[in-house]
Structure 1
Amino acid sequence: MATKRIIADDDFGQIVLRSRRGARNITMRVKPDGLYLTVPPRSRTEAVLEALRPFRARLLEQYLQVKSKRIDFDYRIQAECFRLSLAPGSWKCFTIRHTEEGMVIYCPPGTDFALPDIQLLLRNAIIRALKRAAESYLPSLLATWAERFRLTYNKVRITGARSRWGSCSGTRTISLSCYLMLVPAHLMDYVILHELAHTKEMNHGPRFWELLDSFTEGQSLRLRAELRKFRAAF
């Protein structure tokens, strides 16, 4: 059973230590709200922090790239397939509209962006905007690629998954994360082709990669490496 310890930190805001049964090494991951470490059971906090020391500078650089930015009228998302901004509105509630410039969140008069509750509300509004855009864009893109390579699937689901871009079930239901709207178009295509390849090969064995290479002109491993390095704007 995992246990959790939270340590205040000047660089990361917080360092979250999770001990997990079966863990043999320390794994480190930055998130917008801090640094998360998975450690073996009964690890001493002092020893873990000492093990972190040689990696702190590199992890801090990554953290500063993903650290949550305050959302206000200067906030923008300018992804290749998704654009979003905020604007003053005259309504009493936050309202999302699709415009020629992209998605716009109209804010009520007097909105105080310094309030944590307002920041949470805005983040949830952005997720709703991402889902709305994904639902209108990704299914047709999936259908286009499936038709091109004569592949079939049962249905498509748009999810809010953060830990994976997509998946394909044994019943050939393809799930795509709404956060795909934030990646460059060629990586979006790669994720979709990856899941379509699973309709033929449900594992990641040699035949899977041979099939995916045939879809991507032999670029599947390069595209996978590029996607792993990608950091979304939101």
Structure 2
Amino acid sequence: MATRRIIKDKDFGQIVIGTRRTARNITMRVRPDGLHVTVPPYSKTEKVMATLETFRERLLEQYRKVEIRPIDFSYAIRTACFRLWLEPSPLKCFTLKQTGEGICICCPADVDFSCEQVQKLVRAAILRALKKSAGSYLPPLLEALAERYGFSYRKVKITGARSRWGSCSAAGTISLSCYLMLLPPHLMDYVLLHELSHTKEMNHGPRFWELLDSLTEGKALSLRAELRNYRPAF
């Protein structure tokens, strides 16, 4: 039984159909890299595509808001915890420069931003900048929250994960996505407290949410909903 099918599409670029054993209905979510569809086991592609067509226009409206746009010298990321911009440079290669204001990506002055390879290089540079900033910012914040609320964990890892903000293993290792640097501080804190709560409650049962509620002034579920609807800058 196929668990992942990728179909080229004129509007979304690609439609990724994933099978989930526990799924009972077809669900659709737009992402910058295309339309992601989750279906129950044994769903036929023809039926899935027919269902999609009835929602195509509505989904396209959502996709236009999140689709990847070309990066050029006008591009910048300015969040509470991360600042990044591009500047022309006399050098012939892409370099990162740390300043008191944030991180600058120095690009060759004659760079052609319409080139797909250039876009990949720039995005890779942004990801490196995110990981570098996350590596210096997130571990001390996690440690401070753990000390404040009486949690302990084995170690922390910074990842480039895009499908989840964080995770906690049974061994006590907390993994945090570098994309957390794009969140507002209150949502960043929520994710870190969420993962710290898993060091005591590994599932998402009532006791877990009671614990997380006690750490967020009873706002655990509303913060979760806000996070799900948040669209990061990159």
Q: Which residue of 2 aligns with 1:53?
A: 53
What CA RMSD, in Å, does the superposition of the two structures yield over aligned residues?
1.9
Structure 2: which amino acid aligns with 1:168?
C
Q: Matches of 2:92 and 2:6 in 1, distance apart?
A: 41
Please tell me whether the aligned partners of residues 213 and 219 of structure 1 are also in contact (alpha carbons under 8 angstroms): yes
Please tell me whether the aligned partners of residues 20 and 41 of structure 1 are also in contact (alpha carbons under 8 angstroms): no
Unaligned runs of 5+ in 2: none
Q: Which residue of 1 aligns with 2:171?
A: 171
1:163 Cα deviation from its structure 2 partner: 0.7
Pair 200,8 (structure 1): closer, same or farther in 2 beyond 3 Å: closer
1:8 aligns with 2:15: no
Structure 1: which amino acid aligns with 2:134?
A
Q: Matches of 1:227 and 1:165 in 2, distance apart?
A: 10
1:135-146 map, 5 Å: 135-146=135-146
1:109 aligns with 2:109: yes
| 1:107 alignment partner, SS class | strand
Pairs aligned (count): 232
Pair 8,167 (structure 1): closer, same or farther in 2 beyond 3 Å: closer
Pair 129,201 (structure 1): closer, same or farther in 2 beyond 3 Å: same
Pair 8,211 (structure 1): closer, same or farther in 2 beyond 3 Å: closer
Please tell me whether the aligned partners of residues 6 and 14 of structure 2 are also in contact (alpha carbons under 8 angstroms): no
TM-score, scaled to structure 2:
0.91
Unaligned runs of 5+ in 1: none
Q: Matches of 2:20 and 2:92 in 1, distance apart?
A: 46
1:1-234 map, 5 Å: 1-2=1-2, 4-9=5-10, 11-17=11-17, 25-39=25-39, 40-41=41-42, 43-45=44-46, 47-234=47-234
Structure 1: which amino acid aligns with 2:113?
F
Q: Matches of 2:221 and 2:21 in 1, distance apart?
A: 32
Structure 1: which amino acid aligns with 2:123?
R
Q: Matches of 2:136 and 2:102 in 1, distance apart?
A: 13
| 1:85 alignment partner, SS class | strand
Deviates more, 1:26-35 or 1:106-115: 26-35
1:19 Cα deviation from its structure 2 partner: 6.2
